[in-house]
Amino acid sequence: MVSVTLEGLSVDLGGRSVLRDIGATLNSGELIGVVGPNGAGKSTLVRAMLGLTALRGGTVRIDGADIAALPPRTLARVLSYLPQGQTLHWPLSVERLVALGRLPHLGPLSRLTGADRQAIADAMARADVTDLAGRVATELSGGERARVMLARALAVGAQGLVVDEPLASLDPGHQIDVMELLRREAGAGALVVAVLHDLTMAARYCDRLMLIADGALVADGPPDRVLTHDRLRAVYGITALIEPHAAPPLIVPLGRIEDAGG
């Protein structure tokens, strides 16, 4: 069980206020979608949650402990992170890449133990990439690559998983695969936070959505409460078809409202 608490979180980047006074508590077992327009501050929010960006104000607590006081390796064992558009700089095999997830558990000169190997095999099975183990990770298709990168994040064995835009450039089938995988992880008791752009997917799979607009948390709750006609108009400047009787709710963006701006 892990619980992440954000208290009055504010972040400035290059002199510009990017996040203002965000407060929320995120608990194990939830699949939480972070949604909002481009540039709203979604990625900055998850980076702040992981201690990857300096705060102007506020604190992030994990199980009550301020993350600023936690050693980086301890934090890395509790929350694992898959950055947006994860790149790989060397042509490692899939198995070697997934093994990188064990680094927070390894001492400076130590090697992988039997337990590490088990965690790697387990993560590869959960992400359905066991067949790809011997392939070169830089030569995979987009869908295979997304699953392999998720397996790397799962191999950490952390109680919390934070993924930034895991669906980018995936076809609908692979998008569903990834969302199902995140759903299963949350169902197994993990805290899963995913930055998402696809509102249809976010509404169908997430237990809870955090809607960020212009650096502020404008709504936080179940998808059907967060994604209303008024908010979609105000935040995204769009009209949408919302099918209220479907469960989970079905949301299809329809058109741009001309005078709503940015």
For residue 114, the surrounding DSSP H or E stretch is helix 114-126
Question: Which is nearer to other proteins, 47 or 126 (by Cβ)?
Answer: 47
Distances (CA, A) of 99 to 50, 80, 89, 96, 139: 21, 13, 15, 5, 18
Q: Are 209 and 203 in contact (CB under 8 A)?
A: yes
On the question of a cis peptide bond just before residue 172, with omega within 30 degrees of 0, the verdict is no
**Whose Cβ is closer to other proteins: residue 84's or residue 239's?**
84
Of 92 and 260, CB closest to other proteins: 92
CB 15 → other proteins: shortest distance, Å?
Answer: 16
Residue with the two structure tokens 């790697």: 120
Cβ atoms 79, 153 nearer than 8 A:
no
Nearest approach, Cβ of residue 21 and other proteins (Å): 24
Q: In the bound complex, what is the minimum distance in angstroms from residue 96's beta carbon to other proteins?
A: 5
Residue 92 or residue 218: which is nearer to other proteins going by CB? 92
Q: How far is the CB of 43 from other proteins (least distance, A)?
A: 10
CB closer to other proteins, 83 vs 143 = 83
Task: Tell me the Ramachandran region of residue 165: left when phi exceeds 0, alpha when psi lies from -120 to 50, beta otherwise.
Answer: left
CB of 248 closer than 8 Å to CB of 203:
yes
Question: Least distance (Å) from other proteins to the CB of residue 100?
Answer: 6
- CB hemisphere CA count around 211 (13 angstroms): 22
Q: How far is the CB of 109 from other proteins (least distance, A)?
A: 6
Q: How far apart are CA 215 and CA 217, in angstroms?
A: 7
The residue among 131 and 243 lying less far from other proteins, judged by its C-beta, is 131
Q: Which helix (H) or strand (E) holds 120?
A: helix 114-126
Residue whose CB is less far from other proteins, 124 or 209:
124
- Nearest approach in angstroms of CB 47 to other proteins is 7
In 3D space, the residue among 200, 107, 184 whose CA is nearest the CA of residue 192 turns out to be 184
Alpha helices, DSSP H only, in 192-249?
199-205, 223-226, 229-231
- Contact residues for other proteins (CB under 8 A)? 47, 50, 52, 71-77, 79-81, 83, 86-93, 96, 100-101, 103-104, 106, 108-109, 134-135, 152, 156
